[in-house]
Amino acid sequence: MTIEAFTVLMAEDDEHDIVAVKRAWKKHHISNPLYVVNDGEECLDFLHRRGKYSEPGTAPRPGILLLDIKMPKMDGLAVLKQIREDGHLHRLPVIILTTSTAEEDRLRSYDLGVNAYIVKPVGFANFSEAVRTINLFWELVDLPE
């Protein structure tokens, strides 16, 4: 069986977390292309292919979205709400990857239709293993078109 690599979009504003994910990608030889946006508005621009992402090829349709909650301009929960209300994006698998352990954030995320809520593990080894596990899981899942 051949597994086709799908694009992963990560919406994250913390440079340390971005570097950690990229290091984990490299360490675990993850073949999925990774695109990074730094705030909620940029995430929606990427998904809708508008603004700086309007040129063909600059914003491939992601297979999954790794979404932080605490971001500038528009937080992750507002982005998730818009995705779930959009007829073209509502099936996009979304994983909240956050430092927030707040019960209200977790409950609100699931109320809005998140596929998974993961609190970022502390330390690179734990964080890297979490990224590897997320990748392995989503390689097994039949993603929507």
Per-residue model confidence as pLDDT tens digits over 42-98? 999 999 999 999 998 899 999 899 999 999 999 999 999 999 999 999 999 999 999
Calculate ∠ Cα 90-10-42, nearest 5°.
Answer: 75
State yes or no: pLDDT of 145 exceeds 70.
Answer: no
In the chain, what are the domain boundaries?
A: 8-140
Beta-ladder partners of 66: 10, 95
User: 135 pLDDT exceeds 90?
Assistant: no
Residue type present at position 98: T
Nearest 5°: the CA angle 85, 97, 90 is 15
Between 137 and 82, name the one with better pLDDT. Answer: 82
Architecture of domain 8-140 in this structure: 3-Layer(aba) Sandwich (3.40)
What is the pTM for the complete model shown?
Answer: 0.90
* Rounded (5°) CA angle 88-11-24: 120
Buried b (16+ CB within 10 A) or exposed e, 58-81: ebeebbbbbbbbebeebbbbbbbb
The model's confidence at residue 2, banded by pLDDT at 50, 70 and 90, is very low
1 has pLDDT over 50? no
Instruction: Identify the band that residue 124 occupies on the pLDDT scale cut at 50, 70 and 90.
Output: confident
